[in-house]
């Protein structure tokens, strides 16, 4: 047959077992930390009305996956997890406030695929809605910092700033609204292209505002906020933080504190998490104002970092395999498998009585730990051979001691 | 403002914290059991090429969510998890076989929304590809039975049949292909509409084949298969099974063993899981034949059953809340929260020094367990009050004993 082999769509990717298992572990650790901070899980659909998303993503709106459904509704795949949360806040006004939720789920963006950037990727968001408090801002940062710490990816630094202070500083300069947007876009490039280049660009575009002067005024006007925010971060046990007057963040909807996390050892990797306060978004969507703050971890970027650092375990299957030496013993093999599984041990059975060599290769390819070797001779004596596949050592034990012995070899 | 409140799309639903938490627990238990049986996780994208899905779902194909993406490709939201697995098998021919994978993920179907039927729902699938073995068939059934058992939803029964035996029996009757399809569709209604009604319908449509006669022939021709399959199920520790000659299953692609699980106490609830052998699907998609067997748990139906049976925990937030009695003590409160969290205890802090009454209500609405009550008096003495919110009892302890005491109140 000359059929084309079907492929995953361009810009999308599969997570084969090794990476899927690593991602699963990340999800589970982040969930655990978010719950420790009192965030409760929330799940919303992948599809939302396109109207809901209109106007929240600026120029990026064109990257939304949208289409007409069978009923003629304009629907879209969610572009982030914040707009659906705003919809939830509007639709269920009786949710007790403050409402602290986390959601770990895929979002879809029709970006030009580049190295490491995909059209489907997973975000882990934690948000607090219904309260305007700098403590809530600090707690979101602390929750994300703790989640990142639990992943053992090395030290992270959180850079923070405040849109209100930027506004105050620029207001004194009497910038027009569109100049504010332009100015923010330029200073936000500071980390990527450096001070010199940003200064040149500012000059080119006619901004009469030196970076050093801007930075000084930000620190002066921000003094109270910076000191208070740093105190709270300290109380939450966070020590790696840094006020960054050049941090601006892309999204339109931020209104106060903003923050971004970078890896200390790899700042060039860019932001691995970020967020901020967005007190107007829910009101814009629902007609009823509601303060909110939240942050998001880019889970797939993190996974890429973990894989690069060789922190992903190679084991992709069960810990124990039962070799098939004699098809007449199938019922025994399945009994042994069932007993091991009931004892909480991940166990596989090799279905066919293939050559032992082939069965060993199967087990090695999957990095299994222990092989159970049981033939007619052993059956007669109620004995069983256990081979440690890593240390290449074999022992023979009574069938009754099987589980104890396997456990001692695994743990 | 007179803006319309935005709503979740028709046929879709949100999982608010209580149900999201319950669903999370189900996912985690099922994953654990599937891994114990040696299945490894796999994640595939929500979107696939529409071409991939064409021709696998019969009449249901019209329910696929499909659209043109920005690059003009015909894409579709996945309709099940089996076709994406077949694509993975074709795209990565070097995956070591047998390949045992599980995937727990949403699928999308543009069904007419009815009570309990949604357009986005979650499936938990376990499949074994690359081997044609009745032991693999039995192991998939055993894995699903064990997963269902771990959810403590009460006893389940698995009904099984075999498409090959149906084919043999109908071949002797010299049924035309379209009559086979019609006959299967009719007998599959046996559980829903009963023997009498099915008999009438068969007569109406001109089938000269009595149900009792069909059933006898199935048991006769199926004798070897039934006995072997039941032996293996027994070896896997499964006891509630039943050969059902009237089970046919809707999907076109099954070729051998088929099975369905029902709740023993609620057969009227219908199938909560099902699956079978599909040896032609991967070949049809990739041009290279590959045997396969798998099953799927309808996770959202199960969740509905758990909710109906009141098996969903009402707790939706942290176990411990730190009340805010005095804003001057904020740093202390955050320290206490951080210490409790570091000890693994889910903890919230009430952001504002509101009336205590209001703070108690907040904690009660979320079914929290313990309130930490700490004011200026306590701060002086390094004491802290702990209130058991369920038993309504309060104790005063030294600050140094806080964690030990809270733990003893929680566990």
Phi-psi region of A394 (alpha: psi -120 to 50; beta: other; left: phi over 0): beta
The answer to whether A87 contacts chain B (CB < 8 Å) is yes
Own/partner pairs for A193-196, CB < 8 Å, 24+ apart?
none
Q: How close is the nearest chain A Cα to the Cα of B370, in Å? A: 13
Closest alpha carbon within chain A to B93:
A5
Give this prediction's pTM. Answer: 0.92
Cβ–Cβ gap A334/B236 under 8 Å: yes
Q: Which residues of chain A lie closer than 8 angstroms to B45, CB-CB?
A: 8-9, 12-14, 120
pLDDT for residue B2: 42
Cβ–Cβ gap A352/B133 under 8 Å: yes
pLDDT for residue B45: 98
Q: How close is the nearest chain B Cα to the Cα of A345, in Å? A: 6
Q: How far apart are CA B121 and CA B105, in angstroms?
A: 8
What mean pLDDT comes out for the span A317-344? Answer: 93
For residue A170, what are its two tokens? 């620029």
Which among A276, A406, A387 is positioned nearest to A346, based on CA atoms? A406
Dihedral sign, CA of B113, B118, B120, B126?
Answer: negative
pLDDT for residue A2: 41
pLDDT for residue A110: 94
Cβ–Cβ gap A23/B43 under 8 Å: yes
Dihedral sign, CA of A86, A87, A88, A93?
Answer: positive
Q: A25: burial class by Cβ within 10 Å (0-12, 13-18, 19+)? A: middle
Q: Which residues of chain B lie closer than 8 angstroms to A46, CB-CB?
A: 46, 77, 106, 108, 120
Provide the chain B residues 162-181 that lie in CB contact (below 8 A) with chain A: none
Percent of chain A with pLDDT over 90: 72
Q: How far apart are CA B85 and CA B123, in angstroms?
A: 13
Q: How many CA atoms lie within 13 A of B337 on its CB side?
A: 32
Q: How far apart are CA B249 and CA B243, in angstroms?
A: 14
Beta strands in B116-210 (DSSP E): 120-129, 156-162
Q: How far apart are CA B260 and CA B265, in angstroms?
A: 15
What mean pLDDT comes out for the span A280-287? Answer: 88
Q: How far apart are CA B291 and CA B261, in angstroms?
A: 23
**Residues B299 and B26 sit within 8 Å (Cβ to Cβ):** yes
In this complex, the residue of B36, B106, B352 whose CB is nearest that of residue A346 is B36
Each domain of chain B, given as residue ranges in start order, spans: 17-308, 320-410
Sequence-distant (6+) residues with CB within 8 A of A308 are: none
The answer to whether B213 contacts chain A (CB < 8 Å) is no
In this complex, the residue of B15, B35, B232 whose CB is nearest that of residue A43 is B15
Q: How far apart are CA A397 and CA A95, in angstroms?
A: 59
Cβ–Cβ gap B347/A232 under 8 Å: no
The answer to whether A315 contacts chain B (CB < 8 Å) is no
Host H or E run for residue B165: helix B163-172
Q: How far apart are CA A240 and CA A144, in angstroms?
A: 13
pLDDT for residue B117: 79
pLDDT for residue B115: 61
Does residue A315 surpass a pLDDT of 80? no
Which among A127, A149, A138 is positioned nearest to A259, based on CA atoms? A138
Own/partner pairs for B405-410, CB < 8 Å, 24+ apart?
B406/B320, B406/B340, B406/B345, B406/B370, B406/B372, B407/B343, B407/B345, B409/B369, B409/B370, B410/B319, B410/B320, B410/B345, B410/B369, B410/B370
Q: Which residues of chain B lie closer than 8 angstroms to A403, CB-CB?
A: none
In this complex, the residue of A14, A67, A352 whose CB is nearest that of residue B67 is A67
Cβ–Cβ gap B37/A98 under 8 Å: no
pLDDT for residue B1: 41
The answer to whether B251 contacts chain A (CB < 8 Å) is no
Q: Which residues of chain A lie closer than 8 angstroms to B28, CB-CB?
A: 28
Q: Which residues of chain A lie closer than 8 angstroms to B105, CB-CB?
A: none
pLDDT for residue B251: 64
Closest alpha carbon within chain A to B68:
A67
Closest alpha carbon within chain A to B75:
A9
In this complex, the residue of A75, A88, A90 whose CB is nearest that of residue B9 is A75
Cβ–Cβ gap B36/A100 under 8 Å: no
Q: A323: burial class by Cβ within 10 Å (0-12, 13-18, 19+)? A: buried
Q: Which residues of chain A lie closer than 8 angstroms to B106, CB-CB?
A: 46
Cβ–Cβ gap A338/B232 under 8 Å: no
Q: Which residues of chain B lie closer than 8 angstroms to A135, CB-CB?
A: 330, 334, 349, 351
The answer to whether A12 contacts chain B (CB < 8 Å) is yes
The answer to whether B344 contacts chain A (CB < 8 Å) is yes
DSSP per-residue codes, B28-92: HHHHHHHHHTT-EE-B--SEEEHHHHTTSSGGGGGGS-EEE-TTS-EEEE-S-SHHHHHHHHHH-
Interface confidence (ipTM) of the complex: 0.91
Q: Which residues of chain B lie closer than 8 angstroms to A138, CB-CB?
A: 334
In this complex, the residue of B42, B98, B352 whose CB is nearest that of residue A351 is B98
The answer to whether A37 contacts chain B (CB < 8 Å) is yes
pLDDT for residue B133: 96
User: CA geometry: angle at B214 spanning B211 and B218, to 5°?
Assistant: 140
- In this prediction, the residues of chain B whose per-residue pLDDT falls under 50 are 1-2
Cβ–Cβ gap B12/A101 under 8 Å: no
Cβ–Cβ gap B2/A48 under 8 Å: no
**CATH of region B320-410:** 3.40.50.800
Q: How close is the nearest chain B Cα to the Cα of A312, in Å? A: 14
Report residue B13: phi and psi, to 5°: -150, 155
Distances (CA, A) of B364 to B118, B320, B323: 32, 11, 13
User: Taking the mean position of all CA atoms in its chain, how far away is CA A220?
Assistant: 35
What mean pLDDT comes out for the span A166-174? Answer: 89
The answer to whether A2 contacts chain B (CB < 8 Å) is yes
- What's the mean per-residue pLDDT of chain A? 91
List pLDDT tens digits, range A347-384.
999 999 999 999 999 999 888 999 999 999 999 999 99
Q: How far apart are CA A137 and CA A144, in angstroms?
A: 11
Q: How close is the nearest chain B Cα to the Cα of A55, in Å? A: 14
pLDDT for residue A115: 61
A vs B: CB pairs below 8 A:
265
Closest alpha carbon within chain B to A36:
B346
**Residues A12 and A118 sit within 8 Å (Cβ to Cβ):** yes
Q: Which residues of chain B lie closer than 8 angstroms to A312, CB-CB?
A: none
Closest alpha carbon within chain A to B362:
A96
SS3 call for B102: strand
The answer to whether A26 contacts chain B (CB < 8 Å) is no
Dihedral sign, CA of A4, A6, A11, A17?
Answer: negative
The answer to whether B98 contacts chain A (CB < 8 Å) is yes
The answer to whether A366 contacts chain B (CB < 8 Å) is yes
What mean pLDDT comes out for the span A148-160? Answer: 93
- Sheet harboring B383-388: ordered strands across? B347-349, B320-322, B370-373, B383-388, B393-398
Q: Which residues of chain B lie closer than 8 angstroms to A344, CB-CB?
A: 36
The answer to whether A127 contacts chain B (CB < 8 Å) is no
Which stretch of A246-255, A304-313, A369-378 has the lowest confidence by average pLDDT?
A304-313
**Residues B189 and B294 sit within 8 Å (Cβ to Cβ):** no
Q: Which residues of chain A lie closer than 8 angstroms to B21, CB-CB?
A: 40-41
Closest alpha carbon within chain B to A39:
B317
The answer to whether B354 contacts chain A (CB < 8 Å) is no
Cβ–Cβ gap A41/B75 under 8 Å: no
The answer to whether A29 contacts chain B (CB < 8 Å) is no
Q: How many other β-carbons are positioned within 10 Å of the β-carbon of residue B215? A: 18
**CATH of region B17-308:** 3.30.930.10
Between A338 and A188, the higher pLDDT residue: A338
What mean pLDDT comes out for the span A323-337? Answer: 95
List pLDDT tens digits, range A214-235.
999 999 999 999 999 999 999 9
The answer to whether B36 contacts chain A (CB < 8 Å) is yes
Q: How far apart are CA B278 and CA B256, in angstroms?
A: 7
Report residue A58: phi and psi, to 5°: 55, -135
Distances (CA, A) of B114 to A180, B12, B110, B117, B119: 51, 11, 12, 5, 10
Cβ–Cβ gap B1/A69 under 8 Å: no
């Amino acid at each position: 047959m000359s059929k084309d082999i079907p492929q995953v769509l361009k810009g999308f990717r599969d997570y084969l077992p090794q990476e899927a298992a690593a991602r699963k572990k990340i999800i589970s650790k982040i969930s655990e930390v978010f719950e420790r901070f009192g965030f409760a899980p929330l799940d919303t659909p992948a599809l939302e009305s396109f109207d809901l998303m209109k106007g929240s993503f600026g120029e990026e709106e064109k990257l939304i996956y949208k289409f007409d459904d069978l009923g003629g509704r304009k629907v879209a795949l969610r572009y982030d997890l914040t707009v659906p949360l705003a919809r939830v806040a509007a639709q269920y006004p009786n949710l007790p406030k403050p409402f602290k939720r986390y959601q770990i789920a895929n979002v879809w963006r029709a970006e030009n695929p580049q190295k490491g950037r995909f059209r489907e990727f997973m975000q882990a968001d934690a948000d607090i809605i219904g309260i305007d408090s700098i403590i809530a801002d600090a707690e979101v940062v602390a929750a994300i910092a703790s989640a990142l710490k639990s992943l053992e990816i090395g030290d992270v630094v959180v850079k923070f700033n405040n849109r209100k202070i930027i506004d105050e500083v620029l207001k004194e300069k009497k910038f027009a609204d569109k100049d504010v947007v332009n100015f923010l876009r330029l200073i936000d490039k500071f980390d990527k292209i450096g001070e010199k280049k940003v200064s040149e660009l500012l000059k080119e575009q006619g901004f009469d505002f030196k970076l050093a002067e801007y930075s000084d005024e930000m620190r002066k006007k921000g003094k109270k906020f910076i000191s208070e925010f740093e105190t709270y971060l300290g109380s939450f046990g966070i020590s790696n933080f840094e006020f960054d007057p050049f941090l601006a963040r892309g999204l339109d909807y931020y209104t106060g504190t903003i923050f971004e996390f970078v890896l200390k050892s790899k700042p060039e990797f860019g932001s691995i998490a970020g967020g901020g306060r967005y007190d107007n978004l829910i009101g814009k969507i629902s007609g009823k104002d509601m303060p909110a703050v939240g942050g998001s971890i880019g889970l797939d970027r993190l996974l890429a970092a973990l894989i690069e650092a060789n922190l992903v375990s190679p084991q992709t299957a069960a810990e124990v395999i039962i070799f098939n030496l004699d098809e007449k013993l199938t019922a025994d093999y399945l009994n042994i498998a069932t007993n091991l599984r009931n004892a909480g041990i991940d166990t596989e059975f090799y279905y066919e009585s293939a050559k032992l060599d082939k069965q060993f290769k199967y087990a090695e390819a999957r990095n299994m730990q222990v092989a159970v070797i049981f033939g007619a001779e052993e059956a007669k004596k109620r004995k069983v051979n256990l081979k440690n596949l890593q240390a290449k050592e074999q022992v023979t034990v009574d069938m009754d001691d099987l589980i104890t012995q396997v456990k001692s070899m695994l743990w």
